[in-house]
Structure 1
Amino acid sequence: MYILIADDHPFTLQGTKSFVESYGYKVSDTCSNGIAALNLIRLHHPDIAILDINMPGLDGLDVAKKVQEAKLKTKIILLTMHKEMTVYKKAKEYGIYGYILKEYAQTELQKCLDEVKIGNRYLSAFLEVDLIVDNSRLDHALFALTLSERKIIELISQQKTSKQIAELLFLSEKTVEGHRSNIIEKLGLPKEKNTLLKWALQNK
């Protein structure tokens, strides 16, 4: 069982390496950026790669995506501070095997490695709570919207302009703008440029 670790913070990198080795695993490579991580994965085919998400060159998600596209056998574990549902969804889409939070790595890393080693996937127990809360908030927000407003959100996520939406739904552009204001209000979004488009793209 060979493991690669990539993190751009030297202390975190060394700390993670020490933990992994103390669990009886062999660390074959360490590096501090995503490009080096991807090259080493292609070169040495480690069984598992533990990647930070925020790294120079390529981030951990980029590396996971490229590993998936190249159908490489290396199983990816993301070690991160990100608790956002959108980031986790993207990681899941790229076939990652483990997703654990840095602040709880000492508690969860060994369990995660043991699970991934036998082909199981592992999601941080501390993250699950946040994701469930995030999901229920999203469900509640969508429930507050009318059918017309949901349709408009759907079209916004397809990057349609107010003029295009008005034409598609046989409404006036002013009515669509009114709906947009109501949706922003109901979702509690900041009143800034493209706020609804950003939200729609993140939650579509």
Structure 2
Amino acid sequence: MKILIADDHPFMLQGTKSFIESYGYKVTDTCSNGISALNLILLHLPDIAILDINMPGLDGLEVAKKVQEAKIKTKVILLTMHKEMTIYKKATQYNIFGYILKEHAQAELEHCLREVKNGKKYISAFLEDDLIPSAGPDTGELATLTFSERKILEQVACQKTSRQIADLLFLSEKTVEGHRSKIIEKLGLPKEKNALLKWAIQNYKSQP
């Protein structure tokens, strides 16, 4: 069984690879962004693709959507920090075979792989307790943002620096900066210092 792993954070990528190989599975490809993940899936057609949601280029959900649209047989497992209900619901629309929170990966990943290998779907046993409502509606300016960008914006509204956001979301600081630039562009904000911070505090944090 061929397995691909895609995660922007080098530590998480290598850790996941080591875990999976310790179970006796073969990891044929690893990468750190969604575009590479999609290209490798199209090229090598792995049996399983384990994807993070927060990645540059394409996020994990976007990759899953394109895999579904292309009718590729690769089964997608999302291994993520995201606990928002709307993200989980969106994932189910893209025929995700597995959904595991990173904090529970050590306890669940082996069982998940075994189930998916046998053609069954595996949703984390912890989700019922861990899933939370999303912060803010999917309307107006926020509707143009991807899930990854919204997660970044949420942390900006909490006045976190790019380095702090990177550590919190298991991303590289460069990826966070890239997301910030895209958010500024989509929201039509001036490219001046603290413009995104000011907008986030005034418009995002106050959302119900």
TM-score in terms of structure 2 length: 0.64
SS of 1:125's equivalent?
coil
Which has more radius of gyration?
A: 1
Q: Pick closer, same or farther for the CA change 1:158–1:10 going to 2, 3 Å.
A: closer
Q: 1 CA distance for matches of 2:63 and 2:11?
A: 22
| Structure 1 residue aligned with 2:22 | 22
How far residue 98 of structure 1 moved from its aligned partner, in angstroms, is 0.2
Q: CA RMSD in A?
A: 2.4
Are 2:55 and 1:55 equivalent residues in the alignment? yes
- Corresponding residue of 2:64: 64
User: Residue 188 of structure 1 aligns with which residue?
Assistant: none
Counterpart for residue 116 of structure 1: 116
SS at match of 2:55: coil
Alpha-carbon distance, 1:126 to partner? 1.2
CA distance 1:31–1:158, change in 2 (3 Å): closer
Inter-partner Cα distance in structure 2 for 1:33 and 1:157: 25
1:105 aligns to what?
Answer: 105
Matched letter for residue 11 of structure 1: F
- 1:111-161 deviation per Cα after TM superposition (whole angstroms, max 9, x unaligned): 000010001111111112234x75xxxxxxxxxxxxxxxxxxxxx9898xx
Aligned AA (1:56) = P
Please report how far the alpha carbon of residue 194 of structure 1 lies from its aligned counterpart in structure 2 after TM superposition.
9.0
Change (3 A) 1:193 1:77: same
Q: Which residue of 2 aligns with 1:92?
A: 92
Deviations 1:50-94 (A, max 9, x none): 000000000000000000000000000000000111000000001
Alignment of 1:64-83 (within 5 A): 64-83=64-83
Q: What CA distance in whole angstroms lies between the structure 1 residues aligned with 2:30 and 2:204?
A: 40
Q: Percent identity, please.
A: 74
Greater share of helix = 1
Query: Whole-Å Cα distance in 1 between the matches of residues 97 and 108 of structure 2?
Result: 14
The within-5 A match list for 1:172-183 is none
The gaps in structure 1 that reach 5 residues or longer are: 135-155, 160-191, 200-204
- Supply the AA of the counterpart residue of 2:90: K
Q: Match of 1:144?
A: none
Go from structure 1 to structure 2 and tell me whether the alpha carbon gap of 1:194 and 1:42 turns closer, same or farther (over 3 Å shift): same
Partner of 1:3: 3
Point out which structure has higher relative CO (alpha carbons under 8 A, 6+ apart).
2
User: Could you list the runs of 5+ residues in structure 2 that have no partner in the other structure?
Assistant: 141-201
- Supply the distance in 1 between the matched residues of 2:115 and 2:76 (Cα, whole angstroms): 12
TM-score normalised according to structure 1 size: 0.66
In structure 2, distance between residues paired with 1:27 and 1:158: 40
